[in-house]
Amino acid sequence: MLEEENSVILHEIVALSNLSLVLNNFWSEKVGELNALAEDFGNLHGVNSDLGEEVGILTEKLGLQETENLHLKGLVEKLDKELHEVTNLSDQLNNQLSVGKDLLSQKEKDLSEAKQKLKTAQDLTAELFGTVEELKRECEKSEVLRENSEKQILELSE
């Protein structure tokens, strides 16, 4: 009986030893996995931290970009308003230019008519001058004839 008990105990010890060995192997394997998971977790934590920094940087850049976009939008609106004003001014200037051209054309026509009238007046003046000169010559001839006639009358009356 003692042998049987020893044999049972020995079997139990062997079984427990095998179980202990299996559990130690299982525990070693799980510790390795846990260490690998801890290392992966550390790596992921580092990556997550890096991504958090990148997100912060990108958020800051996005804020700056949005601010710049608002500024550019304001500039575009201002330029659009200025373009509208310049377009209106250009239209006004074109209208004034058209009116000026029409006025200039009318003045050129008036000037041409005035030149024609002046030429006509100059021609008439020249013609009148010629007539006056001719009349002066005729007057001089008449004066000479009158003087001659008076001399003859005086001579005859004497």
Q: Quote the pLDDT of residue 123.
A: 93
Is pLDDT at 10 greater than 90 in this prediction? no
- At 122, is the pLDDT very low, low, confident or very high (cuts 50, 70, 90)? very high
Is pLDDT at 158 greater than 80 in this prediction? no
For 158, the enclosing helix (H) or strand (E) is none
* Dist CA 158 CA 149 (whole Å): 14
Query: Which pair of tokens denotes residue 128?
Result: 């009148």
Buried/exposed code over 133-150 (b: 16+ C-beta within 10 A; e: otherwise) = eeeeeeeeeeeeeeeeee
What confidence tens digit (pLDDT) does each residue in 13-27 have? Answer: 999 899 899 999 999
Q: Quote the pLDDT of residue 4.
A: 86
Query: Which pair of tokens denotes residue 24?
Result: 């130690």
- Predicted TM-score (pTM) of the model is 0.46
Is pLDDT at 5 greater than 90 in this prediction? no
What confidence tens digit (pLDDT) does each residue in 22-58 have? Answer: 999 999 999 999 999 999 999 999 999 999 999 999 9
Give the chain's mean pLDDT.
93
Residue type, 89: L
Number of H helices, E strands in the chain: 1, 0
- At 156, is the pLDDT very low, low, confident or very high (cuts 50, 70, 90)? confident
Q: How far is CA 49 from CA 38, 52, 69, in A?
A: 16, 5, 29
* Dist CA 27 CA 29 (whole Å): 5
Q: Quote the pLDDT of residue 48.
A: 93
Tell me if residue 40 falls in helix, strand or coil.
helix
What confidence tens digit (pLDDT) does each residue in 65-117 have? Answer: 999 999 999 999 999 999 999 999 999 999 999 999 999 999 999 999 999 99
Q: Quote the pLDDT of residue 6.
A: 86
